[in-house]
Each structure stands twice: as C-alpha cells, then as structure tokens.
Copies of this chain bind each other. A is one copy, B any other.
Amino acid sequence: MAPTPRQPAEHPDPPVATTTAAATVPEPTAAAAAPVGPVGPVGRGKGRPRSAAADQAILDATREALADLGWGGLTMGDVAQRAGVAKTTLYRRWPSKSELVVDAIASLFDQLECADRGSLQADIEAVVARFAELLTLPETQAALLALFAEGSRDPQLRRRIRERIVEPQKVLVEFGRANAQARGEMDPDRDRAAADEEVGIIFDVIAGTVEHRLLVSGEPVTADWIRRFTTLLLGPFPGLLR
C-alpha cells in the first residue's frame, strides 16, 4: 500500500538548518516550543503501536478531500470518514487541519527531482514542467496558497511548510546549478554567501513565476511557455535593443 519508504517518525532533533539564518520576520528562535515531532508525539514503543495504514489512509483521504472540496470545504470530520477513522485519531497525530494538509501536500513534492539532461536550459525546462504539473493537480491548487496564507501568521506552521515544501524545491536549484558548473556551463562558486543569494533569487523567480502563472493569472503552462520563460531567464530581455 505504501510503495515509498516513508520514514515514520524520527528526527529526534531535526537537522533542518533551513534558510540563510535570519529572515525578516521575528521568528521565535525557530524550534522554540515544538516538542511535537513530524507526525505527532509518538510513544516510545511500549503499548499498542500506531497504525501505519491509518497514517496513509488519512493522508490519502486528505488529498482526496482537498481535490473534491478545496481548502475551505475540507473538514476534519469528512477526512476522518473518508479514511475510515475516528476524528480523534486525526488529532492524535496532527495538531491542526493546517499541519495535516502540509504533510498531505508535502509528500507530493517529494517526487520532484532534477535529472541531469545535458544542458542548463534543458534542466530548467524539465523542472519547470514537473513543477507545473504538480501545481495543476486540484489538491495542490486548493491547498498551496492557503497554506502559505495560514503560515504567514503561524511561525510553527511556517517552519513546517519551509521544511517540508519550500526547502526541497530549493534543493533542486542548487542541484541544477551544481550540474551546470560540473558541465562547465557556469562559473564555479567564488563566495559561499554570494552563491546562496544567487540560488535564492533563481528559486524565487522560478517557483514564484510558475505559481503566479497557474494560480493567480490562471493561465496554463505549456511547453511553448516554458521555453519562452527559460529563454528569458537565461538570455537577454527579449526585444531589447543594443
């Protein structure tokens, strides 16, 4: 039932490291009062163990409900019913609806990868295409922006979102960059900090643009569009004289 070997509940002290360090927001020292693990407190293995099947059923039901009802329409009771589980079981594992949805969506983003396709242009195009594909799923479409919105007011949730959704995407950019450098397409990094900033910009440009295109402008991401976008990114501004 679970082809992907999901790690059930480790991270006794998550190595996250996350973003550059200090963001613009206060951020209570990060991981301040966050004893809840990735999925829940999970006992030390004494009594009856948690049902892994229930975990999976709940996450699947959450994605299904998201696709059917959207973020606003999704209710914990409904998810529990779809999963064939009591509502209380949901709350034993996830502290709130938002956190549940984070985990349900995050697993989709695990599928992102950045294979080396021989050129930077090809690599970027492939990532954009894959990313756009994810963002056209009704469940991600319904959830992603709502999660970001919720996160803007809840540091704990924001940390989870960054950790589980944002950072994995950012890694792709670093990966693609390293590949391009290995191929001799790009200068090797001179300065660690400068490289990080560079990666940050590229990441915001790619992720932000695709998200805006699909979720705000509401227009499709076609192969032609991807090519135009990537070309704009790599080359000079189109139509610019001199």
Contacts and interface: CB of A to CB of B under 8 A. Distances in A.
Interface of A: 19-20, 23-25, 70-73, 120, 141-142, 144-146, 148-150, 152-153, 158, 162, 166, 184-187, 197-198, 200-205, 207-213, 215-220, 225, 228-229, 232-242
Nearest to A152: B141
A219 B23 contact: yes
A190 to B, nearest CB: 9
Given A24-B220, A228-B197, A241 B204 contact: no
A70 B148 CA distance: 12
5 contacts: A70-B153, A187-B239, A200-B217, A208-B209, A232-B233
Most buried by B among A70, A211, A237: A237
Name the prevailing secondary structure of the A interface residues: helix
Contacts of A212: 204, 207-208, 211-212
B219 A148 contact: no
Number of copies: 2
A205 B213 CA distance: 8
B240 A166 contact: no
A150 B146 CA distance: 8
Given A150-B72, A152-B145, A240-B234, A208 B197 contact: no
Contacts of A197: 228
Contact of A198 (B158, B219, B239): B239
Most buried by B among A25, A71, A144, A239: A239
Contacts of A73: 153
A217 B153 contact: no
Contacts of A204: 209, 212-213, 216-217
Most buried by B among A72, A158, A197, A228: A72
Contacts of A203: 217
